[in-house]
Structure 1
Amino acid sequence: MVASPYPRTALQMAYFRTWHDRVADPTKPNSFGDIPAEVDVAFVFPDFTPPQNPFWRTLREEYVPALHERGTRVVRTTDISALLDPSFPDTATGHRDLAEKLVTELVHEHGLDGLDIDMESYLDAEQAERAAGVFHELARLVGKESGTDSLLIYDTNLGGDEQVFQHTADLYDYVLVQSYGRTVESLQETWDSFAPLIPAERYLIGFSFYEEFDLNRWDDTSEPFETSRAVDYADWQPDGATKAGVFSYAVDRDGVEFLDDRITETGYTWTRRLSERLHRGDA
């Protein structure tokens, strides 16, 4: 794993959809291993990529070492439902065993730097308590509470008043809010729901590149670059504070024009320019 500490602000993170990797699908032109050094954390977003797909061996043996060489950490994303696996009892021992299984299979087996939990569901009280129990066990193994240099990340489209987050907020290295399509004017209100529990230096907001075939119509990355929502997000700061940075979803579609469904090779032009934007006050 990458041992050097990361800056707390001006970070850029990116979700790459693995089914668009050219090893996972030879008809596709892009490679997870080509994610540029401007990305501080690259997320393995693994839909439609079964365990037997050659992507996973290439990820461990080629992509991760190459990204580490550039200073990019690699984190696996999984859904909150993984923390509610009914094959494990809802007990302290069950929570610990499930956490160990998840970290072994999703992080260690691929030589990755941490785990990202995607939280997009309102859970009932029993589910929330169970998920929080597993989160606390995960935090013993990965993230800032574990004593390792690994990451535990929480990403969500919900507010900071969600009950699982309320009981686990102190566990996470970073909290990512999927802000796709939202107005800049709405960002402060969302941050206000998180502010009582985490510092701004652990908070990122995210935009989405245009996915093919109308999978979303957020229109976050339409040209011109300078007036796009993505740039607005890079520039925005919470009142009286500095956020950790921004993230993108579907970075494998970097540079694709809105409503263009062609699968084309990317040069990560937006990602590179956003890095310059985030760091423009560093000189």
Structure 2
Amino acid sequence: MHCSQGSEGRSSIGRKLAAVAAGMVTTAMMVGCSLTVGTVANAQEEDSPVVESQEGNGSKHFMVYYRAWRDVTMKGVNTDLPDDNWISMYDIPYGIDVVNVFSYVPSGQEAAAQPFYDKLKSDYAPYLHARGIKLVRGLDYGGVMVNGFKTWIAQQGKSVDDATESDYGAYADHVIETYMTSVGLDGLDIDMETHPDAAQVAISDQVITALAKRIGPKSDNPEGTMFLYDTNGSYTAPFANVADCFDYVAYQQYGSDSNRTAKAAATYEQFIDSTKFVPGLTFPEEGDMNNRWNDATEPYLDSHFYDVASYSYDHNLGGMFVYALDRDGRTYSDDDLAHIKPSNLIWTKTAIAQSQGMSLENAKQAANHFLDRMSYTKDVPAETRQTVAAATNLYEVNKAVLGADWNDGYSNTYDPTLELSLTSIDTTALTNAIDKADALLADGVTDTDMLTEARSAVVTGLAGKAYTEADVASWTASLNTAITAAMAGNSKPQKPGADETNKPGPGQESVDRPKVTTGRLASTGSDVAVVLSVATMMVLAGISVFAVRRRG
């Protein structure tokens, strides 16, 4: 797709090929090729994470471009590197509300890529939808909005000059089925990086208008669909007549600070409100020997990430996005450019928090909450606590827990936005029960094995990726039952959670990923199952991701 530094015309090969490929697929389909979704794979329980909740805070967007050819389900697709892919869509951080599924599949590698599209439709999309995330797909402006229509209308035995509103509608239906609904997505993203002439704009205006009747803010389903426009320039001819068709503009300003953000926002504010302008940065793509964006470089306070995220929040822009999520933390060193390496996603997680207004106080609260619950299964070094306390900005807090890179800190998967939401769930009764169980075990109660088993199950669940109020209530009751039985020397108590079905099983932090189920995120003593968003839980608890005090 895009990537521009200074010049608005220069593009990175990886992104551009992926977007152009969309146009190529459309053209190929016009002459007889078809996109096959294939047999939907069955969900694997051990591969599917738990936690269902609405993402985002309701006003600020955060989008990530997810490079599909680097998903764990794709092997040997669009790559000449020997390293295994490490990321899956289950690793997408919290606070994100839009995922742009970005893909390029070279000819002849379609079969190797198919497992990803199968899993996208059967597992990934339902999981992300349960978190309130929309999924869109990037399409090349020239390949789909212009040339794609020309080819399609010719196949109908007509010319562009003969095309009717009905023809444009039929083509829009075709595009939506081909790229969106066939793989379970919610919207489309038009990638504009060229300077089309008036004749081309006349065609794209008609195509975009037809699409907008079906997806996005002007459609009959504005909440359930999305239509985006993304660009790296200020050439507004393809946008001016159709500006109201899009949810927001994603502006690619790779390698640039907030000075460019301000200029571009001013250009587009003649067409859209500032809350619909979303600037974006990038991480280094492997094998890119030309571009040197350097957006995510320490020191954090001097980085483009800090500058643009802060500017977006301070000036009430629509949020922020990042490209190449899986390359978070990578550099332009020869070693990084030549390999695929896992990431703790620290820059993305920090940008989410920064652009959405998390305060330093709340960041420290989230970090300490995480360390507290993890301490039941993994000792927390005093140095980690001290570093959190001494942190002066959000990145330093996150780095204290995550480390600068994979396997460099206490946790590889700590998620500050998710963790802050968990602070709204009262675990006092549960931790009191754990402490009581520990005291009994230290005193040598009669039924040590049963109490040990119950305690182990509870603390493993508490130290999992996430939990609900219903989980905590269930664990507390089960452990108290085990405590009572141990003290009385009674028979074997019921195991924690044994009376519940389809509950998330205890697991290691971001390792065991139970199948997604409809969970109860609040418990009022009734059996009524309700699904609350993370944001709703935080409001009910009086805790907000927004600044209680000024951000760090």
Instruction: Compute the TM-score of the two structures, normalised by the length of structure 2.
Output: 0.48
In structure 2, how many angstroms separate the alpha carbons of the residues matched to 1:18 and 1:176? 19
1:156 aligns with 2:247: no
The residue that corresponds to 1:180 in the other structure is 254
Deviation of 1:32 (Å) = 2.8
In structure 1, how many angstroms separate the alpha carbons of the residues matched to 2:92 and 2:55? 20
Please give the per-residue CA displacement for 1:64-83, whole angstroms capped at 9, x wherever unaligned: 11212223221111111211
The residue that corresponds to 2:64 in the other structure is 14
1:120 aligns with 2:196: no
In structure 2, how many angstroms separate the alpha carbons of the residues matched to 1:47 and 1:113? 19
1:44 to 98, 101, 113: 101
Is the Cα contact below 8 Å between 2:253 and 2:260 reproduced in 1? no
Moved more, 177-186 or 119-128: 177-186
1:234-273 counterparts in 2 under 5 A? Answer: 234-237=309-312, 241-259=315-333, 260-261=336-337, 262-273=339-350
The residue that corresponds to 2:203 in the other structure is 130
1:58 to 101, 110, 119: 119
Instruction: Compute the TM-score of the two structures, normalised by the length of structure 1.
Output: 0.91
Report the identity percentage. Answer: 30
Is the Cα contact below 8 Å between 1:9 and 1:243 reproduced in 2? no
1:189 aligns with 2:263: yes
Taking structure 1 as reference, are residues 39 and 219 closer, same or farther at Cα in structure 2, changes over 3 Å only? same
Please give the per-residue CA displacement for 1:52-104, whole angstroms capped at 9, x wherever unaligned: 42111111111111212223221111111211212223223332222111111
Please give the per-residue CA displacement for 1:4-48, whole angstroms capped at 9, x wherever unaligned: 796564321110111111111263111233212222111100112
Amino acid of the residue matched to residue 216 of structure 2?
G
In structure 2, how many angstroms separate the alpha carbons of the residues matched to 1:118 and 1:111? 20
The residue that corresponds to 2:440 in the other structure is none
1:73 to 119, 128, 134: 134
Amino acid of the residue matched to residue 61 of structure 1?
S
- Larger-Rg structure: 2
Of Structure 1 and Structure 2, the greater strand share is in 1
Of Structure 1 and Structure 2, the greater helix share is in 2
1:280 to 358, 366, 369: 358
Amino acid of the residue matched to residue 227 of structure 1?
D
Amino acid of the residue matched to residue 251 of structure 1?
L
Is the Cα contact below 8 Å between 1:44 and 1:74 reproduced in 2? yes
Deviation of 1:188 (Å) = 1.6
In structure 1, how many angstroms separate the alpha carbons of the residues matched to 2:56 and 2:285? 30
1:100 aligns with 2:173: yes
Over the residues paired in the alignment, what is the CA RMSD in angstroms? 2.2
1:83 aligns with 2:160: no
Deviation of 1:51 (Å) = 5.2
The residue that corresponds to 1:23 in the other structure is 73
The residue that corresponds to 2:215 in the other structure is 142
Is the Cα contact below 8 Å between 2:250 and 2:280 reproduced in 1? yes
Deviation of 1:105 (Å) = 1.5
**Structure 2: any 5+ residue segments left out of the alignment?**
1-51, 77-83, 154-159, 360-545
In structure 1, how many angstroms separate the alpha carbons of the residues matched to 2:117 and 2:273? 35
Alignment size in residue pairs: 280
Please give the per-residue CA displacement for 1:176-227, whole angstroms capped at 9, x wherever unaligned: 1101112322222211110111001111000011111225311111123332
Is the Cα contact below 8 Å between 1:39 and 1:271 reproduced in 2? no
**Structure 1: any 5+ residue segments left out of the alignment?**
none
Using CA pairs under 8 Å that are at least 6 residues apart, name the structure with larger relative contact order, 1 or 2.
1
In structure 1, how many angstroms separate the alpha carbons of the residues matched to 2:197 and 2:128? 39
Please give the per-residue CA displacement for 1:100-154, whole angstroms capped at 9, x wherever unaligned: 1111111111111111111111111111110111000000110010021200000
Please give the per-residue CA displacement for 1:240-261, whole angstroms capped at 9, x wherever unaligned: x510111001111112133322
Amino acid of the residue matched to residue 273 of structure 1?
T
Deviation of 1:272 (Å) = 1.2
In structure 1, how many angstroms separate the alpha carbons of the residues matched to 2:56 and 2:72? 29
Taking structure 1 as reference, are residues 7 and 172 closer, same or farther at Cα in structure 2, changes over 3 Å only? farther
1:222 aligns with 2:222: no
